[in-house]
Structure 1
Amino acid sequence: MTAQILSAIFTIIVGVGGCVVYYWGANKILDAVFPSRGVSGAAAVDNLRRQGLIRPWLFVGPAMLIVTVYLVYPVIETLRLSFMDRGGENFVGLANYSWAFGDREFRNSIFNNLLWLAVVPAACTFFGLIIAVLTDKIWWGNIAKSLVFLPLAISFVGASVIWKFVYEYRAEGQTQIGILNAAVQYLGGNPQVWISTPFWNNFFLMVILIWIQTGFAMVILSSALRGIPEETIEAAVIDGANPFQIFWKIMVPQIWGTIAVVWTTITILVLKVFDIVLTMTNGQWNSQVLANLMFDWMFRGGGDFGRGAAIAVIIMLAVVPIMIWNIRQANREGGGGH
């Protein structure tokens, strides 16, 4: 543990220090190559213009290089592999896609992903909105928001480990250490193996992501609610509107764009959900999702690059339209587009 902590600290120091040295050094070199001091007026103006053209690339360039190497190239390579055979050597056309839509496990993964899409974004947005409204009315609202936001700081794997203890099952006659089974037993019910119950285990896994992402939804929606003009609320109160009417007919319509952005952002996350399923069930008991199935075919027992890549492309094709709409909606909300 000590070695890991020291390694993490060393990585942070080297990473942050390296960035500082790079940007400081790059600016120094740029100023030396195109000096704006100690030269004639016309030359100084030309050098300042050149600095203005080059300096943004000193900051953006490394990020673009990293994105190209670690995002653009893998996308192109994945597309290529999706048309290749098991070893990624021979061209097989659309055979991998034909296999995918004819495979029972793939169809089950699609069904599970659709369940996640139907439940998680709606639940996160709803709970986030309700919490944002309620915490704005109480003096300890910021403390409550901090507690709700806290799970977002936990990794998906860490959150899954926590919830494994919540769902933990012990055989009959043993003390139930899982919170849920202990509560069920206390109320006179029978403990259950929650995460191995087909179909319903999907919902128990969804609870983990809802627990994590509700804080994200709450923060964004709370900010949007504070942007609602007080005059509209006061006018509604004067007209005799009750709190429920003010919420649904005044507040929600004015922040609908933000609600949509939050909804679609979580939708993109759900389409790529992987860590929770891998940690909790490893896709067993009919809990498989597309990202987990892709991982199995690409890197585990399947060992089929073509099929794994085809599933990855299908996930990408599902995510990209939502992501584009999300960016446009966010730009529209921020006044950057129409």
Structure 2
Amino acid sequence: MSFDLLAQQPKLLYLLQGVGAFAAVVCLVLLVLHRGPARGGGAAVLLLAPALLLLTAGLLLPALRTLMLSFTDDEGTAWVGLDNYAWTLTDPGALLALRNTLIWVVLVPLLVTAVGLLYAVAVARSRLRSPALCLLLLPMAMSFVGAGLIWKFVYAYRPAGADQIGLLNQLVVAFGGEPRQWLVDAPWNVLFLVVAMVWTQAGFAAVLLTAAIRAVPGELTEAARLDGARPRQVFRYVTLPVIRPALLVVVLAEAIGTLKAFDIVKTMTAGRFGTGVLAHEMYDQAFRYGRTGRGAALAVLLFALVTPVVAHQVRARRSAR
């Protein structure tokens, strides 16, 4: 590759410079450790230096840049103070995205946990446990974009009298009903998008909860049965308390993932028909409409919503130890 080509493509040049700088840091760390082993925590600090450098360049600096842009105008040049944040709390489109995001955060973790728990209870002691879990895990093997395309075809609509290519409308017509535009009719279309998300994530919950149920000490369940407890009582008073940490992990992990939901909404409705969420609205404002300040404000708002959930998850893991 000639230097003239690099000069004509500055982004490629910056990439090569970044890779070279990172490689230089790694070589420097290895050289220092080779010359003389560091004492105490010095070796750990040196070995962590490349990762900390990447985290700083890839996460910390962009986060600070986004925070600064949230106080600027659409071009990211003039200071506008809290105007962008006032817009996020007053604009109908932004409020709709916030409402939909809260609906997702409430429904997706609850439904994923419920479906995963029911499936785990059904297959935990079964000989067909492995193939049954693999079957439910299949949707996780594809991306959210692929899942969105699949469910978009499931909800596909054709006028009455035409051949229906959507599975759901085919069933409706087969039972004598009229086909519907499932992804157009608000607010129910939000729920149909939630179904696609639950379909992709139920396998994760089922695997985790199956392992938790199988880890319940047999002595506890046997003692409960000897005391006359029925299967439902054993599950409620013995199994559920023991697997509570696993349930909490599933709920918090799904809540974090749901707050960042973007792919399914973008693929299935592109945020139209009242289905927008914060992540998609942030993308539209920053990249589609060129309103950098508003997009950055939405990103900061999304970060503020995710942070308490992440902090609670970290605290729960520490207490479980």
What range describes the TM-score normalised by the shorter chain of this pair?
A: 0.7 to 0.9
CA distance in 1, matches of 2:69, 2:318: 34
Whether contact under 8 Å (1:97, 1:310) holds in the other structure is yes
Q: Give the equivalent residue in structure 2 for 1:322.
A: 309
CA distance in 2, matches of 1:77, 1:27: 29
Q: Is the aligned partner of 1:120 residue 2:112?
A: no
Instruction: State the Cα distance separating 1:285 from its structure 2 match.
Output: 0.6
Alpha-carbon distance in 1 for matches of 2:238, 2:232: 10
> Once the two structures are superposed, what CA deviation does each residue of 1:287-326 show, in whole Å capped at 9, x if it has no partner?
11111111110000x2111111111111100100110110
The residue number in structure 2 matching 1:308 is 295
Contact 2:74 2:294 in 1 (8 A): yes
TM-score under structure 1 normalisation? 0.83
Give 1:32 deviation, angstroms. 4.5
1:227-272 superposed Cα distances (whole Å, 9 cap, x missing partner): 2111110011111212211112211111212211210111111111
Deviation at 1:173, TM superposition (A): 2.1
Give the Cα–Cα distance (whole angstroms) in 1 for the partners of residues 205 and 50 of structure 2.
31
1:31·1:51 contact (CA, 8 Å) conserved in 2? no
Paired residue type of 2:250: V
Q: Within 2, Cα distance between the matches of 1:144 and 1:26?
A: 50
TM-score by length of 2: 0.87
Matched letter for residue 140 of structure 1? L
Could you say which residue in structure 1 is the equivalent of 2:66?
Answer: 78
Alpha-carbon contact 1:297-1:303 (below 8 Å) kept: yes
Q: Secondary structure at the match of 1:284?
A: coil
Where does residue 46 of structure 2 map in the other structure? 57
Deviation, structure 1 residue 126: 0.9
Structure 1 pair 87/27, CA: closer, same or farther in 2 (3 Å)? closer
Alignment map for 1:172-183 (pairs within 5 Å)? 172-183=160-171
Residue matched to 2:90: 102
Aligned match for 1:276, one of 243, 253, 264: 264
Aligned equivalent of 2:10:
none
CA distance in 2, matches of 1:31, 1:96: 49
Deviates more, 1:183-192 or 1:307-316: 183-192
Change (3 A) 1:94 1:27: closer
* Counterpart AA for 1:327: V
- 1: CA distance between counterparts of 2:141 and 2:316? 26
CA contact (8 A) 1:164 1:280 kept: yes
1:33 aligns with 2:21: no
Residue segments in structure 1 that go unaligned for 5+ positions in a row: 1-20, 35-46
Residue of structure 1 equivalent to 2:15: none
Q: In structure 2, what is the equivalent of residue 15 of structure 1? A: none
Establish whether residue 225 from structure 1 lines up as the match of residue 213 from structure 2.
yes
One-letter amino acid of the counterpart of residue 88, structure 2:
A
Supply the AA of the counterpart residue of 1:150. L
- Cα 1:26–1:81 shift into 2, 3 Å: closer
Candidates 253, 256, 259, aligned match of 2:247 = 259
Q: Distance in 1 between matches of 2:72 and 2:123?
A: 54
- Superposition map of 1:109-258 within 5 A: 109-258=97-246
Aligned AA for 1:127? V
Identity %: 40
Match 2:279 to one of 252, 275, 291:
291
Q: Distance in 2 between matches of 1:28 and 1:75?
A: 30
Q: CA RMSD in A?
A: 2.3
In structure 2, how many angstroms separate the alpha carbons of the residues matched to 1:219 and 1:157?
Answer: 23
Distance 1:95 1:229, change over 3 A: same
Aligned length: 300
Q: For 1:281 and 1:53, locate their aligned partners in 2 and report how far apart those are by CA, in whole Å.
A: 52
Report how far residue 33 of structure 1 moved: 2.4
Larger RCO: Structure 1 or Structure 2 (Cα < 8 Å, ≥ 6 residues apart)?
Answer: 2
